[in-house]
Structure formats: C-alpha cells, structure tokens
Amino acid sequence: MPTSLFSPLLVGALTLNNRIIMAPLTRMRAMQPGDIPAAMAVTYYQQRATAGLLISEASQVSPQGKGYMATPGIYSTEQVVGWRQITDAVHAAGGKIAIQLWHVGRVSHHSLQPDQGLPVSASALAYVNKTTIMGKDGQPERVACDTPRELRADEIPMLIDSYRHATMMAREAGFDMVEVHAAHGYLLHQFQSAESNHRQDAWGGSLENRARLTLEVLDAVIASWDPQHVGIRISPLGKFNGLDDRAGEAMGLYLAEQFQQRQIAYLHLSEPDWAGGPELSNEFRQHLRLRFKGVLIGAGNYTREKAERLLNDGLIDAAAFGRPFIANPDLVRRLAESAPLNPPRPELFYGGDEEGYTDYPFLT
C-alpha cells in the first residue's frame, strides 16, 4: 500500500501526526539586544503547528555563532524564556517542535561578533559574499563578510561545549528535539569540505579528520540528551554560501554511516536543487539509504508529487517544506485538499514586523 504524506511517523522518541515537516527558515525578527525570540514568533509558529514537526529557524549556540542581524539564540536565560512561550503555544495547538542549532563560522561580519572580532572558520579563507546587518538607519544593510581567522585547536573544546550548553537550554525551553545544522556552508560544513578546510592538524586533511568536528559536536549534543531526541542536517553535493560541495558525495555517505552508528532520530538531507543545483540522483539516494537506516527527511523544492514519489520509492520517510510554509500556515490542509497555495512575498522574508510573517490567509 502506498505511503501517504499524511500518515503518522515514528521519529526517535516522537510520533508525528504526518510526514510534512516545516523546514528551518531564517526570518530575522528576534528582539534586540539579546537575540530573543519576539512575541510575534509565538503566533507564527503556532499557526503552523499542524506540521508533523516544526523545525525552528536556525539559532546560534553562542554569540560567536551569529552571522545575520536579528537571528535568535539558544544560550541565554532570556532566550529560553522567549522560546518557552513558543514551544508552549505549539504544544497547546497539538504540534511538535525541534530547534536547529547553528554556528555560521565565516558567514559573518565583525559588527555581529563579540567585541567586534573576526569570525572564525576551519581556515582563514574568505566567504566572498555578503551578509545582513542592522544599518545606521535601523534598516537591514548588506555588507561584505570579513575574512575569518582560523579557529585554534585549543578553542575547539569550548566550541563543542557551546553545542552541549545550547542543547541543555533547548530542553529547558521545552523543545521536543534538537537538530544540528551541519549544512549550507556554515561552520561544521566549512570543516567538512576540503575547499574551505586547509588545516594540517587533527581537524583537517583526511576525510575522517574533516568530519571530526561535526561528529564530536553531535556526540556532545547526544550526551546532553539522548540519540532519540537528536537529528542533523547536511547538504552534500550542493553549492551554498560560497562553498561548492559538488565533490561532497564521499563525505555525505561517510557521515551517514557515522550517524547510523549513533542511532540518531533522523537525518535531514538538504538537496541542491532549491539553490539552483542539480537534482540528486536516485543512485546517490540509494547509497545514502543503505548507510542510514533511520528516518530520512528530504528537503529542497518539494511538491506533494515529488514527496510521495520518493516516499513510495523508499528513498525518504518525510518531506520538509520551506518557502511554501512561509506563505501557507495551513500548508498541511492545502496539500491534503490539493488547494491552491498563497504566493510568497520574498521582499518580506527577512526582518520587519507581522507583515509577511503572520498575516498570510488560511483557507476558509
């Protein structure tokens, strides 16, 4: 019998009502100072609580992990209080929510860093692009990222500990799970890729060394909770944030084997086509499935038809939708009824107030 997007799914310690996941979506609306989730985020997440699982916007694990203006954190007491209002609201609506743990690495600017310092990365190699900061007029401003400094080996234990601390804070904030962000050209991905990691120590060189930070972070997160409450997101074969990882198949498959050994709740695969890359081949999907036997979530330009085709081919267990959830708080119902979708307003994706955030209409 064909698997339906609308059938329940056991993910680690959770039973989801359906297999439609809300992907993590940066919206840049956290209160300042302090990177605290805003009150309007309570409404935003509760509106979308019919998803089988909401994955929160990426949230920095420390002040150093910040790369864009007004993104929330998960390391302070004030942030925990803000997130607790959101998780309580999602639970009251019958939903489940994970938080995505984030360190941007070199995708940052000194004005976003503690003491105006340089961002850090695997190596002192520039991300030749821009990020968004708060301009002098209080409006978002695009500025070039700074060339990072190489993260020292003696700083890595403290970095790993920031993920451990963030996991404990996420538990206190009432989240149902955590997701480690190891994709999209951010810090953990910068260590994974030979393109951005030129280190000659135990954290660089061989594939195993380049994967080491991702796996040690994952182990710290698991130790702070358990594997059944932990997922991870990777993006092999994609081109994201100045990191061209089209040669990343071997790393993706190696990581999948390591995740399987740790028995984590899910592997979230961000596919390259949403960012202009090619679709993943069925051959790669099959190799990944052989190495990771747990719940596999696919994300990237998904439609109901694509999701159900891959579900029924046994290549994914759930599908994550990003931009469709921005514009359609009732996306689950719309997909179930094959109803038309609200068009998104990209000019309101980042920063601002309730407009383009909580004011998209529901089906009547």
Catalytic residues: 186
Let me know the angle formed at the C-alpha of 212 by 11 and 166, rounded to the nearest 5 degrees: 55
Measured between alpha carbons, how far is 161 from 61 in angstroms, rounded to an integer? Answer: 10
Beta strands in 97-163 (DSSP E): 97-102, 120-121, 130-134, 140-144, 149-150
Half-sphere exposure of 242 (CA within 13 A, CB side): 19
Measured between alpha carbons, how far is 166 from 45 in angstroms, rounded to an integer? Answer: 20
DSSP for 167-180? HHHHHHTT-SEEEE
Which of 142, 75, 137, 136 minimizes the C-alpha distance to 103? Answer: 75
Which of 98, 93, 99, 40 minimizes the C-alpha distance to 332? Answer: 93
Helix (H) or strand (E) holding 319: strand 318-321
Distance between start and end Cα atoms, the chain: 32
Measured between alpha carbons, how far is 54 from 281 in angstroms, rounded to an integer? Answer: 27
Which of 351, 356, 326, 357 minimizes the C-alpha distance to 31? Answer: 351
Judged on CB neighbours under 10 Å (0-12, 13-18, 19+), 338 is exposed
- Looking at the chain, the number of H-run helices and the number of E-run strands are 10, 16
Is the preceding peptide bond at 37 cis, omega within 30 degrees of 0?
A: no
